[in-house]
Amino acid sequence: MKKIEVNTKERKYTIHLGCGALNEAAAVVDELCKSKSVFIITDSGVPERWVDALAEQLGKPPVFVFEQGEASKNIEIYGEILAWLAEQKATRKSLVVALGGGVTGDMAGFAAATYMRGIEYVNIPTTSLSQIDSSVGGKTAIDHGGIKNIVGAFHQPSAVIVDPEVLGTLSERERNNGLVEAVKAGLIGDGELFELFEHDDYMDHIEEIIERALLVKKRIVEEDEHESNLRKVLNFGHTFGHAYESYFGGRYLHGECVAMDMMTVTEDEEKKTRLSAVLRRLGLPETPEEEADSEKLANLIMNDKKSGRGSVDLVRVREIGTAVIETTGMEEIRKMLK
């Protein structure tokens, strides 16, 4: 088992990474939670075999299962989880274990961040997106009033357990959707990681891919825990990506929108060719199937919380493996959309 130490101001914690890591969760949890008061939170789409494998080891603690999907990341279910924790007599010394994708991690993480002003949680991400991206960084949130992640908190996990084997039950589309975040991590911070995707046998290197992507994220998050500046480079692929996501409303998965964004902002022909080959290998779209109204997309970008008034902090990759943030005027953005 590999151990990656993450040092944030809030706390230091370990990411335990390796095939079979899920079967060693009890050792991690027992070490963290001397009171043995453990609560599993998961969603209905996480295959039972993974829930059972975890629950058995932990001596069958109470399990809260909510309906899978982004629509569940709401204040009602959040409230139900808090009420359930109180009903189950969870105390300040209890430990929440999140088992699932980014939705479960965000939801259980936010419940842990706020229950009794904050209790510890362990994140066990089970999708490629959550293993590569959302489980590290300490951002937790729910959606409200039609706005994604509008209510949340920074709350670092006490440990993260990443087992690439659990990805075996994901569909290929879902799996590759998350792998885009590793392609992104390669482009902004690790050229060799990007190169792993330039070969057909990339899935033989899945553990290395996850590890390298996590190391890129760790480095950036440690330097900029609360997203003042440097952490913005993680938004590479997400400026146009978020706009495509809202515009096409559910037709494309998040990672597919990130893929199309990366193609939109990459201008250099040689890099564009390399990126395009990688995206094709992963079965990901390079441009939207249907012509989009560029004015509407530009407005969506302007209204996105990450943009300033008449300009956008756009992350660009000039050399594979390093990113720069460039303040880009809306005129330029419109040109790129055409």
Burial tier of 205 (Cβ tally within 10 Å: 0-12, 13-18, 19+): middle
Residue 106 within binding range of ligand NAD, rule CB under 6 A: yes
Q: Which amino acid is at 127?
A: T
Q: Which helix (H) or strand (E) holds 12?
A: strand 12-17
Q: Which is nearer to ligand NAD, 48 or 295 (CB)?
A: 48
Minimum CB–partner distance for residue 266 and ligand NAD (Å): 21
Binding-site string for ligand NAD from residue 5 to residue 44, where x marks contact by CB under 6 A and - marks none: --------------------------------------x-
Query: Which of 40, 42, 34, 13 lies closest to 93 in space, CA to CA?
Result: 34
- Taking CB under 6 A as the criterion, the residue among 51, 124, 132, 137 binding ligand NAD is 137
Residue 46 within binding range of ligand NAD, rule CB under 6 A: yes
Binding-site string for ligand NAD from residue 304 to residue 323, where x marks contact by CB under 6 A and - marks none: --------------------
Local structure of 63: helix, strand or coil: strand
Minimum CB–partner distance for residue 22 and ligand NAD (Å): 10
Q: Which stretch binds ligand NAD (CB under 6 A): 131-139, 189-197, 206-214, 298-306?
A: 131-139
User: Is residue 304 within 8 Å of 243, Cβ to Cβ?
Assistant: yes
Minimum CB–partner distance for residue 329 and ligand NAD (Å): 28
- Kindly give, in sequence order, each residue whose CB lies less than 8 Å from that of residue 292, ignoring residues fewer than 6 positions away: 244, 247, 248, 337
Q: Which is nearer to ligand NAD, 120 or 298 (CB)?
A: 120
Query: Which of 173, 199, 174 lies closest to 186 in space, CA to CA?
Result: 199
Q: Which helix (H) or strand (E) holds 78?
A: helix 75-87
User: Is residue 13 within 8 Å of 6, Cβ to Cβ?
Assistant: yes
Residue 130 within binding range of ligand NAD, rule CB under 6 A: yes
- Taking CB under 6 A as the criterion, the residue among 61, 102, 157, 186 binding ligand NAD is 102
d(CA 131, CA 164): 8
Binding-site string for ligand NAD from residue 145 to residue 184, where x marks contact by CB under 6 A and - marks none: ---xx----------------x--xx---x---x------
- Taking CB under 6 A as the criterion, the residue among 139, 155, 218, 242 binding ligand NAD is 139
Size of the residue set binding ligand NAD (CB under 6 A)? 30
Burial tier of 199 (Cβ tally within 10 Å: 0-12, 13-18, 19+): exposed
- DSSP-derived letter for residue 69 is S
**Residue 177 in tokens:** 């959707």
- DSSP-derived letter for residue 221 is H
Region at 312 (left for phi over 0; alpha for psi -120 to 50; beta for the rest) = beta
Residue 74 within binding range of ligand NAD, rule CB under 6 A: no
Binding-site string for ligand NAD from residue 178 to residue 217, where x marks contact by CB under 6 A and - marks none: x---------------------------------------
Residue 237 within binding range of ligand NAD, rule CB under 6 A: no
d(CA 221, CA 230): 8
Residue 126 within binding range of ligand NAD, rule CB under 6 A: yes
- Taking CB under 6 A as the criterion, the residue among 51, 81, 98, 103 binding ligand NAD is 103
Residue 68 within binding range of ligand NAD, rule CB under 6 A: yes
d(CA 290, CA 322): 32
Q: Which stretch binds ligand NAD (CB under 6 A): 68-76, 241-249, 287-295, 315-323?
A: 68-76
- Kindly give, in sequence order, each residue whose CB lies less than 8 Å from that of residue 209, ignoring residues fewer than 6 positions away: 132, 179, 182, 193, 196, 197, 202
Contact footprint for ligand NAD (CB under 6 A): 43, 45-47, 50, 68-70, 73, 100-104, 106, 126-127, 129-130, 133-134, 137, 139, 148-149, 166, 169-170, 174, 178
